[in-house]
Amino acid sequence: MPKQRPSKTSSEGEHDPKPLRERQSEQTPETVNDNSFSPNNNADQDQDHDLTEESEIESRKLKERERKHDSGAVDLEKITDYAEETEITASDLSGVRELIATEMAERLRKEKELMLIKIKKEDVELIVTELEMSAERAERALREHGGNLLETLGALTN
């Protein structure tokens, strides 16, 4: 059968159900000072000091874990913000499609106008031989300058 520890009693001799720490906190400063040199009190203080150090270490580790978790949450927030900013809406797409369609229509209209301009075959051959360029490019340059050979030569040489 295990040994029973003798119960601690209060100063009046009766059994005190309060734990030792609560009784020590209730003591007056004179009582605490008188008992401060007892070996049992020093052992309790060392044990309390060890417990507080352990709890401080655990709280630091917990704070570090929370900080790591918080930084991960911040990174996730940045990613979702970026995704929301780069998200393309249907209205954006329709606006781009309209812009492309108007540009294409303008190009076609301009090409039709250029095709209506009459150019001389001799002018195209002159530009090809003198400036050493392709016939398509010479024809295009002549059409852009309204078939005027002098304007075309001036624009191509500058």
User: Per the structure, how many domains does the chain have?
Assistant: 2
Q: Are residues 23 and 83 in the same domain?
A: yes
Query: Does a structural domain hold residue 150?
Result: yes
- Boundary (domain end) residue, out of 72, 87, 102: 87
Query: Does a structural domain hold residue 108?
Result: no
Q: Are residues 124 and 73 in the same domain?
A: no
DSSP result, the chain = -PPPPPPPB-TTSSB--S-HHHHHHHS-HHHHHHHTTSHHHHHHHHHHHHHHHHHHHHHHHHHHHHHHHHHHHHHHHHHHHHHHHHPPPHHHHHHHHHHHHHHHHHHHHHHHHHHHS---HHHHHHHHHHHT--HHHHHHHHHHTTT-HHHHHHHHH-
Query: Does a structural domain hold residue 105?
Result: no
Per-residue confidence of the chain (158 residues) as pLDDT tens digits? Answer: 555 555 554 444 455 555 655 555 555 555 444 444 555 555 566 666 667 788 888 888 877 777 766 667 777 777 777 777 777 788 888 999 999 999 999 999 999 999 999 999 999 999 999 999 999 999 999 999 999 999 999 999 98
Query: Does a structural domain hold residue 131?
Result: yes
Query: Does a structural domain hold residue 110?
Result: no
Q: Are residues 83 and 24 in the same domain?
A: yes
Residue 153 lies in domain: 118-158
Query: Does a structural domain hold residue 8?
Result: no
Answering whether pTM is above 0.75, one says no
- Boundary (domain end) residue, out of 65, 87, 109: 87
